[in-house]
Amino acid sequence: MEIHLIFTKNNKLKIKISNNQYSHGDFKVCFSLVYSIQEIIGATISKQIGRYYEIHSQQDEIILTLQEPRIGSYNLSCGPEGLFVLGNNDQKLECKITPLDFENPIPEILYSDEKDKIFDPIIPLPNILKLEKETIQIKNLDFKISPDEKKFFDNLNNLLKASNIKFNTSSGHSIVFKKQNFQSEEYKINIKKESISIEYSDYGGKLYSIITLIQLINFYKTYLPICLIEDSPSLSWRGMHLDCARQFYTIDEIKRLMDYMCFFKLNRFHWHLTDNEAWRIELKCYPNLTKLGAFRGYNEIIPPFYGTGFNKTGGYYSRSEVNELIEYAKHRNIEIMPEIDLPAHSWTLLEVMPELRDSSSNIIAEDVGNYPNNTINPAIDETHKFLKNILAELTEIFSFNIIHVGVDERPRESWEGSPKVIEYMKNNNIASFDELQDDYMNNIINILKKSNNLTAAWNEAALPPYNEIGSSGSAGKVDKSCIIFAWEHPDVGLMSAKKGFKTVLCPGHKTYFDMAHNKSTYERGICWAATIEVKEVFDWEPLKDYETEDLQNVLGIQGQLWSETITNKDYFDQMINPRLAALAEIAWCTKAKRPWAQFRSSLLNNLDFLSKLGWKFHNF
């Protein structure tokens, strides 16, 4: 059997079956999509959970009408992923699948080769960079350090291996460190003929001085300019999020991302550990969450969402692995904030622990991703126990004092029809489901406060939803200590700050790196928010409309990679790199302080270094 996948000229998805020795109806085709099926011709859907489908063909050509993307056309991420074919007895049938084709392709973008011969090679751009014409020669790129500093440099071996730089205790151009009473992450480098002096505030400032030095050497090689560099970040939170629920990334793969983050002075890792599709963090209090919820496959309780395929695949993070990653992150000045996405986005959790929903409810509520009944019930005693238990264990595991608890995209009908909810609301004088969500949130905030931890959540935790997608939000009664991650639209961050919430800006329109770069059919990514080119990230002025009093509530900026479209790890690099590098410049400086051509030249130079670490990148 052969299956041909084609997007037709009128934007239909055609599944064409040839060399078929089986009778229609005697086999089923199983796959995942990133856009839901609106209509199907030539087959019937026998099973659907989220955007995982099993269909029985009735003829050789199956025509699917999918949700229409914002840009009106589809790309390489929009076809069936993880496709397999099963016979009547659920035996896997041999099947050849051709690559996705387009009858009306949109060509790839050709980028201009905009370069400057003279540019500052450091990303992010330092506050003060005074380069003299006079240089010093660093023979063999040898630098002499104090024996006390050896361990500090040993921890950076992964970054240094792509360079020829050697930090020795016996020979080379001398580097002298001196701690000063600077602000956090501030540093000062003075390159002189006789030595290099580095003044720093804390570990972050010391580390970033060396990152700056590496970038300088990568450009100037063995002849360094006499120079003075003074630098500190404009924003304290400069982050990157990774969705490890939709796809599982190994600890080594996450470490690789942390090296990238460190190279561009990003200091917060938002670790998205649970969602509808998986539960990835091992907890002693509920071991079945990972035993059953961390793996997907046709014969597992969690079906093969987002390209997983027939066989059992997946994984989870043990406590020892988390500890290893926390230690690795600290050496790169990165704090790890875990996210357990609740109360919605919990389909897998509820498959493992159905006692967290009200079984007497008579409502089927489906979320924007087509997951039915994916929301835990706040009026059940078992839910209160569950929240206390998992939050207590998470605060034991993670050293950072902020826990992210999700609270996005709760279906509007999720708690309707639940007698236990109705009774709880009556007993606690709660007038609406949005007030019930606020009650649920304040309960979590109070639990975490008792262990001196802060709560973070997506913007629907404190604000009404910005987009009309059938979701609910807050009634405006959430404790102001909650940190808000403003994702739905650039305006949401300003709304959050004005209401007095500490806010991290992460609008999908600029910071969601699962978005396609452009409209070409040969791109990967989705586009519900926008298409995002590297230059568009660089040109973003996130704080343009903020008054002084609002700015006090902006903690920083964060990039996101949601993983629905990362069905092959080969796609990972080009979705992140170099958009994240451009975002790092904006997060450090709050807006571009050099022309695009100069930044582009600096970026190309640094990408050459990163390529030695194995990083591929998207053209720009």
How do residues 552-598 score in pLDDT, each as one tens digit? 999 999 999 999 999 999 999 999 999 999 999 999 999 999 999 99
Strands 223-231 and 195-200: unpaired
Name, in order, each residue with C-beta under 8 angstroms of 206's C-beta and a sequence gap of 6 or more.
152, 177, 187, 198, 200
d(Cα 543, Cα 541) in Å, to the nearest integer?
6
Residue 302 above 90 pLDDT?
yes
- Average the pLDDT over 157-174 and give the result: 92
> Please, are residues 322 and 398 in contact by the beta-carbon 8 Å criterion?
yes
Identify the CA nearest to 335 among candidates 410, 416, 271, 400: 400
Question: Helices 596-611 and 251-263 meet at what angle, rounded to 10?
Answer: 140
Q: Which contiguous run of DSSP H or E holds residue 238?
A: strand 237-243
Q: What pLDDT, on a 0 to 100 scale, did the predictor assign at position 525?
A: 98
Q: What pLDDT, on a 0 to 100 scale, did the predictor assign at position 447?
A: 98
Q: Which contiguous run of DSSP H or E holds residue 142?
A: strand 142-144
Residue 12 DSSP code: P
Q: How confident is the model at residue 161 (pLDDT cuts 50, 70, 90)?
A: confident
Residue 145 above 90 pLDDT?
yes
Give me the percent of the chain exceeding a pLDDT of 70: 100
What the block records as the tokens of 445 is: 């905030």
Name, in order, each residue with C-beta under 8 angstroms of 173's C-beta and a sequence gap of 6 or more.
136, 138, 142, 143, 144, 195, 196
Q: Is the dihedral of CA 563, 564, 570, 571 positive or negative?
A: negative
Q: Which pTM was predicted?
A: 0.98
Question: Helices 433-449 and 419-427 meet at what angle, rounded to 10?
Answer: 70
> Please, are residues 218 and 609 in contact by the beta-carbon 8 Å criterion?
yes
Give the three-state DSSP class for 486: strand
d(Cα 524, Cα 185) in Å, to the nearest integer?
36
Q: What pLDDT, on a 0 to 100 scale, did the predictor assign at position 4?
A: 98
Strands 503-505 and 128-137: unpaired
Identify the CA nearest to 511 among candidates 237, 286, 311: 237
d(Cα 84, Cα 529) in Å, to the nearest integer?
31
Q: How confident is the model at residue 613 (pLDDT cuts 50, 70, 90)?
A: very high
Angle at 487 between CA 455 and CA 564, to 5 degrees: 100
What the block records as the tokens of 402 is: 């902020």
> Please, are residues 269 and 337 in contact by the beta-carbon 8 Å criterion?
yes
Poorest-pLDDT segment among 113-122, 315-324, 342-351, 448-457: 113-122
d(Cα 5, Cα 495) in Å, to the nearest integer?
44
Give the three-state DSSP class for 280: coil
- Average the pLDDT over 202-231 and give the result: 98
What the block records as the tokens of 57 is: 């063909």
Instruction: List pLDDT tens digits, range 475-532.
Output: 999 999 999 999 999 999 999 999 999 999 999 999 999 999 999 999 999 999 999 9
What the block records as the tokens of 520 is: 């070409």
- Average the pLDDT over 106-115 and give the result: 94
- Average the pLDDT over 179-196 and give the result: 97
Gyration radius of the chain's alpha carbons:
26
Identify the CA nearest to 247 among candidates 292, 282, 288, 295: 295
Q: What pLDDT, on a 0 to 100 scale, did the predictor assign at position 362?
A: 86
C-alpha of 434 from chain center:
27
Q: What pLDDT, on a 0 to 100 scale, did the predictor assign at position 162?
A: 87
Mean pLDDT of the chain: 97
Q: What pLDDT, on a 0 to 100 scale, did the predictor assign at position 572?
A: 98
- Average the pLDDT over 173-180 and give the result: 98
Q: What pLDDT, on a 0 to 100 scale, did the predictor assign at position 301?
A: 97
d(Cα 599, Cα 264) in Å, to the nearest integer?
13
What the block records as the tokens of 100 is: 């996705």
Q: What pLDDT, on a 0 to 100 scale, did the predictor assign at position 114?
A: 85
Instruction: List pLDDT tens digits, range 14-65.
Output: 999 999 999 999 999 999 999 999 999 999 999 999 999 999 999 999 999 9
